[in-house]
């Protein structure tokens, strides 16, 4: 995220509660007709030149989805979504077909530049201090470009859009797709299985430490378009990858739907670090517009001693419904979840994690920091489950909530289920308001109130920020500050 600093600086000049990524790009698009049906799914599959088995997989999920009901247990409220009033496929016209940077519409490249995402490899390479990050850029329904592919190939790492992977590596897709989040998993995940359009695919072979950070950048541009991306990351024995994900969308009055599925698979001794900075458009100060972010993310520590770590900074979206989870199947495996969730305005967040301990000597750690301001509601919902055979399981959970103002809500809903006597589970949660003493102290030194709050909040979330790769950490801190603008009234 090299150009981030610059963008941040620009944004700082903008007025309070102006979403900095709210610009719209006028670009010619290729769209499927509105609505959802088997024909639409056939259309998407055909557009992607998918093999027959993939189409069947989708149709199967679609038929199942028709029998399912939208979940209502989360603490989020929104008008019923008309799933037939959405576009399920929108692609920049010029991007169809094989992609190389030269073929990409220059208008698109400018979008990513504006967002601070460098896609031109030569530019990235030219920057001396810039850390090298391979990027897969997803614009509405399709991946427009993936950088550094060749260099990664040398190391044996496959990094490409999932559409390409379906065509080029069907054996891996068949083996792993849906193996962590089955098509029947939940309403949104099943919908995703039916209509997913693009996303990233990562395969790190045995013993390889991925030579650079991998990153996907998601952008919803089109009106009334659902974005249903699918990400699949497979890390073989002893291998390692760090993966970053960023998201933005234009400022629009209507709500846009985003229902992604992310599956991670870690084999013996493998490690996956997955970081997200989610900054979808949150809606305006009155709660109009914004993204509905209904995401299923799950990692499977399939191998012994494997490790999956989720770090998320959630500042955007009108509604967030998201529980990045770990299935600790392998003995001695470890799951981590570090989260910062900031809600302001009329945002609603219901997010947390699940740590499912199945193997022996498994351990997990959950650190969640929720900050509610304005008229928002912010819920941590998490589960720690210790299976009867999971001896010597360990969990530590810490959920802290901070309230800024008296019109918001902060909620904590942990589920702790233990069936093995050797387990050691420790959960603690606190809710309090920002300390007046601290604020006074900081302000007394000449720092204005909003900045003082940002400063204190940054202290509050430090444990999580530290988990982010450096480039992201800086951006995340700034984002939190921006998200809280206007919270003092």
172/429 with CB nearer another protein: 429
How many residues sit in the footprint of another protein (CB under 8 A)? Answer: 38
Q: Which stretch binds another protein (CB under 8 A): 151-159, 267-275, 318-326, 410-418?
A: 410-418
Q: What is the spatial distance between Cα 309 and Cα 273, in angstroms, rounded to a whole number?
A: 5
Of 107, 417, 449, 451, the residue at the interface with another protein (CB under 8 A) is 417
Which CA distances in Å does 135 have to 118, 126, 218, 243, 469? 8, 16, 10, 10, 15
Q: Which stretch binds another protein (CB under 8 A): 45-53, 180-188, 242-250, 405-413?
A: 405-413
Which CA distances in Å does 36 have to 41, 66, 195? 8, 11, 9
Tell me if 488 contacts another protein by CB under 8 A: no
Q: If we measure between CA atoms, which residue out of 227, 252, 7, 247 comes closest to residue 113? A: 7
Pattern of binders to another protein over 61-100, x per CB under 8 A? --------x--xx---------------------------
Quote the least distance from Cβ 330 to another protein, whole Å.
Answer: 19
Bridge partners of 217, per DSSP, are 137, 246
Of 408, 454, 457, 468, the residue at the interface with another protein (CB under 8 A) is 408
- Please check whether residue 204 is in contact with residue 235, taking contact to mean a CB–CB distance below 8 angstroms: yes
Tell me if 365 contacts another protein by CB under 8 A: no
- Using CB under 8 A, which residues numbered 276 to 305 contact another protein? none
Structure tokens of 336?
A: 């981590």
Quote the least distance from Cβ 311 to another protein, whole Å.
Answer: 24
Of 95, 146, 221, 412, the residue at the interface with another protein (CB under 8 A) is 412
Q: What is the spatial distance between Cα 234 and Cα 236, in angstroms, rounded to a whole number?
A: 6
308/408 with CB nearer another protein: 408
Which CA distances in Å does 64 have to 61, 287, 443? 5, 33, 57
Of 205, 211, 409, 486, the residue at the interface with another protein (CB under 8 A) is 409
Quote the least distance from Cβ 413 to another protein, whole Å.
Answer: 5
- Using CB under 8 A, which residues numbered 146 to 205 contact another protein? none
Tell me if 435 contacts another protein by CB under 8 A: no
Of 55, 155, 172, 418, the residue at the interface with another protein (CB under 8 A) is 418
Of 428, 440, 449, 459, the residue at the interface with another protein (CB under 8 A) is 428
Helix (H, G, I), strand (E, B) or coil at 122: helix
Of 425, 443, 447, 474, the residue at the interface with another protein (CB under 8 A) is 425
Tell me if 356 contacts another protein by CB under 8 A: no
Of 401, 467, 483, 487, the residue at the interface with another protein (CB under 8 A) is 401
Q: What is the spatial distance between Cα 373 and Cα 378, in angstroms, rounded to a whole number?
A: 9
Of 39, 103, 123, 426, the residue at the interface with another protein (CB under 8 A) is 426
Q: What is the spatial distance between Cα 120 and Cα 115, in angstroms, rounded to a whole number?
A: 14
Task: Identify the H or E element spanning 410.
Answer: strand 409-418
Helix (H, G, I), strand (E, B) or coil at 328: strand
Tell me if 431 contacts another protein by CB under 8 A: yes
Query: 202: Cβ–Cβ under 8 A, 6 or more apart, which residues?
Result: 157, 158, 159, 214, 231, 232, 233, 234, 235, 241, 243
Q: Which stretch binds another protein (CB under 8 A): 19-27, 105-113, 275-283, 385-393?
A: 385-393
Quote the least distance from Cβ 5 to another protein, whole Å.
Answer: 33
Size of the chain, expressed as the number of residues it contains? 489
Structure tokens of 153?
A: 């190939």
Residue 302 CA neighbour count, 13 Å, CB half: 17
Quote the least distance from Cβ 11 to another protein, whole Å.
Answer: 27
Residue numbers at the binding site for another protein (CB under 8 A) = 69, 72-73, 386, 388, 391, 401, 403-433
């Amino acid at each position: 995220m090299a150009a981030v600093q610059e963008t941040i600086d620009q944004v700082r000049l903008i007025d309070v509660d102006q979403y900095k990524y709210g610009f719209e790009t006028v670009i010619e698009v290729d769209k499927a007709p509105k609505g959802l049906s088997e024909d639409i799914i056939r259309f998407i599959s055909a557009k992607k030149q998918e093999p027959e088995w993939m189409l069947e997989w989708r149709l199967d999920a679609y038929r199942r989805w028709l029998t399912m009901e939208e979940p209502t247990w989360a603490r989020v409220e929104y008008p019923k979504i008309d799933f037939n009033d959405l576009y399920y496929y929108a692609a920049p016209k010029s991007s169809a077909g094989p992609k190389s940077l030269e073929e990409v519409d220059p208008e698109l490249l400018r979008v990513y530049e504006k967002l601070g995402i460098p896609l031109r490899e030569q530019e990235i390479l030219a920057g001396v201090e810039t850390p090298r990050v391979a990027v897969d850029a997803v614009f509405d329904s399709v991946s427009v470009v993936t950088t550094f592919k060749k260099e990664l190939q040398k190391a044996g790492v496959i990094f490409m859009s999932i559409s390409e992977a379906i065509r080029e590596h069907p054996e891996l897709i068949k083996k792993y797709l849906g193996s962590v989040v089955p098509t029947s998993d939940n309403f949104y995940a099943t919908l995703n299985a039916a209509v997913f359009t693009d996303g990233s695919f990562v395969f790190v072979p045995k013993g390889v430490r991925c030579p650079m950070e991998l990153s996907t950048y998601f952008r919803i541009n089109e009106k009334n378009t659902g974005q249903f991306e699918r990400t699949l990351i497979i890390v073989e024995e002893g291998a390692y990858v760090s993966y970053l994900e960023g998201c933005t969308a234009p400022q629009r009055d209507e709500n846009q739907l985003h229902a992604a599925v992310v599956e991670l698979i870690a084999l013996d001794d493998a490690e996956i670090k997955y970081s997200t900075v989610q900054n979808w458009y949150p809606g305006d100060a009155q709660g109009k517009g914004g993204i509905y972010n209904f995401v299923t993310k799950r990692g499977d520590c399939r191998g012994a001693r494997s490790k999956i770590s989720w770090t998320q900074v959630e500042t955007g979206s009108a509604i967030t419904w998201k529980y990045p989870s770990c299935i600790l199947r392998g003995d001695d495996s470890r799951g981590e979840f570090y989260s910062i969730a900031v809600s302001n305005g009329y945002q609603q967040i219901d997010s947390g994690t699940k740590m499912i301990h199945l193997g022996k000597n498994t351990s997990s750690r959950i650190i969640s920091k929720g900050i509610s301001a304005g008229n928002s509601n912010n819920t941590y919902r998490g589960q720690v489950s210790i299976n009867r055979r999971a001896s010597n399981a360990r969990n530590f959970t810490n959920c802290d909530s901070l309230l800024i103002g008296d019109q918001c809500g902060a909620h904590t809903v942990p589920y702790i289920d233990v069936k093995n006597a050797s387990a050691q589970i420790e959960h603690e949660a606190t809710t309090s308001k920002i300390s007046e003493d601290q604020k006074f102290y900081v302000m007394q030194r000449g720092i204005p109130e909003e900045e003082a709050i940002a400063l204190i909040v940054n202290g509050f979330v430090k444990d999580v920020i530290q988990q982010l790769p450096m480039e992201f950490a800086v951006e995340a801190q700034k984002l939190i500050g921006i998200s809280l603008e206007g919270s003092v009234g």
